């Protein structure tokens, strides 16, 4: 052999040991696929309740106190607003009521001089009845003042009467009594006028008859 090689080197190798059958590292065997997955904690799993800390309890109490204080403050503010609104409405109503008592311009009535005259007449009635009984001392100035008012400021007195009647209608007993007194007064005044006309007619007839008799006596002279 050239190069000094051994001729036995060229013989085929027949005694190679058989290697065991190994699986590849990327093999996807069914056993690996069928292996159950490891359980992971679910996000929906409720955690065990944690007891509140002193800070949490203090925060709850502070929240309740703030809510209570806020409710009291809101209630006080609402009450104050309601009170102010009520006073404003009463003030407006009083101003409108006083303004409605003034006579209308077309009546030509002047309130200021007329009211002064009525006040003077009321004081005069009080002076006149100062030596009388208690009832006369109370009734005379009132009667004189009302009479002077109806004579001097009739439009204003009519407005006052209408306003008083509106308040009287809220109390049925007073309104019914007022109506009864009004009917009695009107009927008495009507009967008085009828009797006055009858008396006037009788006096005229008596005077005419006496005059005729006197004239007859004079003529027979």
- Report d(CA 180, CA 186) in Å as an integer: 10
Tell me the CA end-to-end span of the chain in Å, nearest whole number: 223
- The answer to whether residue 92 is domain-embedded is yes
Q: What are phi and psi of 46, to 5 degrees?
A: -65, 135
Question: Are the C-beta atoms of 146 and 139 separated by less than 8 Å?
Answer: no
pLDDT of residue 1: 47
Task: List CB contacts of 144: < 8 A, sequence separation 6 or more.
Answer: 121, 122, 124, 125, 128
Question: Are the C-beta atoms of 126 and 140 separated by less than 8 Å?
Answer: yes
Q: What is the pLDDT of residues 81-124, one digit of tens each?
A: 999 999 999 999 989 988 888 888 888 888 888 889 999 999 99
Q: What is the pLDDT of residues 168-210, one digit of tens each?
A: 888 888 888 888 888 888 899 899 989 899 999 898 888 888 8
pLDDT of residue 25: 52
- Please tell me the pTM assigned to this model: 0.51
Tokens representing 68?
């209570």
Owner of token pair 């036995």: 8
219 SS3 class:
helix
pLDDT of residue 110: 83
Q: What is the pLDDT of residues 6-61, one digit of tens each?
A: 555 455 555 555 555 555 554 444 444 455 555 454 555 555 567 878 888 899 99
- The answer to whether residue 74 is domain-embedded is yes
**Domain span holding position 92:** 56-101
Size of the chain in residues = 221
pLDDT of residue 135: 86
- The answer to whether residue 111 is domain-embedded is no
Question: Are the C-beta atoms of 168 and 175 separated by less than 8 Å?
Answer: yes
- Report d(CA 62, CA 60) in Å as an integer: 5
Task: List CB contacts of 141: < 8 A, sequence separation 6 or more.
Answer: 122, 123, 125, 126, 129
pLDDT of residue 3: 46
- The answer to whether residue 169 is domain-embedded is no
**HEC profile for 174-212?**
HHHHHHHHHHHHHHHHHHHHHHHHHHHHHHHHHHHHHHH
- The answer to whether residue 78 is domain-embedded is yes
Q: Where are the alpha helices (DSSP H) in 41-133?
A: 54-101, 111-128
- Report d(CA 81, CA 74) in Å as an integer: 11
Q: What are phi and psi of 6, to 5 degrees?
A: -80, 130
pLDDT of residue 219: 77
Domain count, the chain: 1
Question: Are the C-beta atoms of 31 and 37 separated by less than 8 Å?
Answer: no
pLDDT of residue 32: 45
- The answer to whether residue 65 is domain-embedded is yes
């Amino acid at each position: 052999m050239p190069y000094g090689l051994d001729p036995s080197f060229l013989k085929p190798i027949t005694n190679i040991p058989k290697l065991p059958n190994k699986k590849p590292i990327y093999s996807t065997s069914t056993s690996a696929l069928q292996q159950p997955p490891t359980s992971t904690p679910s996000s929906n799993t409720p955690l065990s309740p944690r007891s509140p800390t002193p800070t949490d309890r203090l925060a709850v109490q502070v929240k309740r106190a703030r809510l209570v204080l806020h409710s009291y403050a809101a209630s006080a503010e609402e009450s104050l607003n309601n009170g102010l609104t009520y006073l404003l409405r009463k003030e407006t109503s009083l101003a409108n009521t006083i303004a409605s008592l003034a006579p209308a311009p077309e009546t030509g009535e002047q309130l200021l001089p007329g009211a002064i005259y009525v006040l003077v007449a009321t004081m005069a009635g009080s002076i006149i009845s100062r030596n009388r009984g208690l009832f006369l001392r109370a009734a005379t100035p009132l009667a004189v003042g009302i009479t002077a008012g109806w004579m001097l400021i009739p439009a204003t007195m009519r407005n006052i009467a209408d306003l008083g009647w509106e308040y009287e209608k809220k109390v049925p007993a007073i309104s019914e009594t007022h109506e009864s007194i009004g009917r009695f007064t009107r009927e008495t005044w009507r009967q008085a006028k009828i009797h006055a006309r009858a008396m006037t007619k009788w006096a005229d007839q008596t005077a005419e008859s006496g005059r005729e008799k006197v004239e007859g006596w004079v003529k027979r002279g």
